[in-house]
Amino acid sequence: MNKLDKELNYFLKENNNEAITKQNICDTMKAIIRGTMISYTAKRNKEKYKENFKLQAFADDLIFIMEGPEQTGPKLIEKLEEYREVAGLKINKGKMKIIAKNMTNKQKEKLAKNLDIQIVPKIKYLGITILYLGIHWTARCSTLKENIYIKLKQQIALDLVKWENLQLSLIGRISTIKMNILPRILYLFQTIPIRLGKDYFEDLNKIVLIYIWLGKKARIKLKLFQDAKIRGGFGLPNCELYYQATNLMWVKEWITLRNTRLFTLEGHDLLLGWHAFLWYKGTKTQGYFRRYYIRESLWLNWEKTKRQYTWLILPCVVDLCGC
């Protein structure tokens, strides 16, 4: 009740009292209560399903994702110092960078001063963005498409222009797409399954068709190119279909509920079970589930799949659940 009184007083103080209606106050109270319930449930679940996640530091470059860096940052530095003494690890603080999310400029300055580490908008070295495991790391999820997928599309276009001079047959050029282009795209689909519009795949198909036909007018429909060889097609990879399939690989975990450690880590703030968000229409009001950028993308792709392949969903789910 103290928190509710405090938030309401702040609401009345910051807004024009003459324009406030009873409905405004009621909506504010509901939002505060809902937020308090989510926070309480998340805290309770963290205590109930407490897990220890350990990291083996054998790589040259490490990335740590932490909550509350003001408290956890000094502890991390302390642990790294302990590890250095035992394993001979050399920590180069000059190359260490911090990407801060949901922090004010004042908080960032204080954090940088306490840890003696520079805070940057994205990881760079000598003005060039560093690729860590094939991913350009930035502070904003909304820039992932621009920094990862758009750059990959541009790189694919450049590579295919270079390979146009190679003496390859039509089947050979299709095999080039399968062996070189598809693995690069699949890696990102599996690692960063963010929301991609249909225009992205249309652009990708145009780039591929220009390479296959060497800039000439296409004489075979794209649908036939992407059809399976057993049905008379050429087996050209359908990137949009691969994208949907890799998204469903993550949704499969929500259906089977076998990876308990994963759900302890990612679902500690859920008020309902994972199955409720997949099937129950009433959960559309539970906006906090889609607050996370990647989780929202997976959920939207699942909803799209349910609409497109209604006749396939039930047998698929029964099989995954082992029924």
pLDDT tens for the chain, residues 1 to 323: 565 566 656 656 656 565 666 666 666 666 666 666 556 555 565 555 566 666 655 556 677 778 788 888 888 888 888 877 777 777 777 777 888 877 888 888 888 888 888 887 765 544 445 566 667 777 677 788 888 899 899 999 999 999 988 889 999 999 999 999 999 999 999 988 989 989 999 999 999 999 999 888 888 888 888 898 888 889 999 999 999 999 988 888 888 888 777 777 777 667 777 777 777 776 666 677 777 788 888 888 888 888 887 655 554 554 554 44
Instruction: Sort residue 133 into left (φ over 0), alpha (ψ -120 to 50) or beta.
Output: left
CB atoms under 10 Å from CB of 2, counted, come to 6
CA 220: distance to chain centroid? Answer: 36
Which secondary structure element, helix H or strand E, spans residue 312, and what is its range?
helix 310-320
Structural tokens at position 113 = 């001063």
The pLDDT score that the predictor gives to residue 323 is 45
- C-alpha span between 105 and 111 (Å, rounded): 10
Dist. CA 173–CA 234, nearest whole Å: 11
Residue 40 has, within 13 A of its CA and on its CB side, a CA count of 7
Residues 6+ apart with CB under 8 A from 40: none
> What distance in Å separates the CA atoms of residue 316 and residue 254, rounded to the nearest whole number?
13
List all residues 6 or more positions away from 235 whose beta carbon is below 8 Å from its beta carbon: 174, 178, 226, 227, 228, 229
Q: Classify strands 135-136 and 131-132 as parallel, antiparallel or unpaired.
A: antiparallel
pLDDT at 254: 83
Token representation of residue 234: 């050429």
For position 127, what pLDDT does the model report?
A: 46
Q: How far is it, in rounded angstroms, from Cα 141 to Cα 297?
A: 12
Question: Distance between CA atoms of 243 and 14, rounded to whole angstroms?
Answer: 46
Per DSSP, what are the bridge partners of residue 97?
118
Output DSSP code: residue 110. H
pLDDT tens sequence across 163-185: 988 889 999 999 999 999 999 99
* Interval 39-98: pLDDT, tens: 655 556 555 556 666 665 555 667 777 878 888 888 888 888 887 777 777 777 777 788
Mean pLDDT value across the chain? 77
Give pLDDT, residue 172: 93
Backbone angles phi, psi at 97, to 5 degrees: -130, 155
CA distance 278 to 273: 9
209: buried, middle or exposed (CB in 10 Å: 19+, 13-18, 0-12)?
A: middle
Contacts of 77 (CB under 8 A, 6+ apart): 115
Check residue 24 and give its pLDDT: 66
Question: Which residues does 214 contact at the CB level (< 8 Å), separation at least 6?
Answer: 164
User: Whole-model pTM above 0.75?
Assistant: no
Which whole-number Å values give the CA distances from 149 to 196, 204, 256, in the listed order? 9, 11, 30
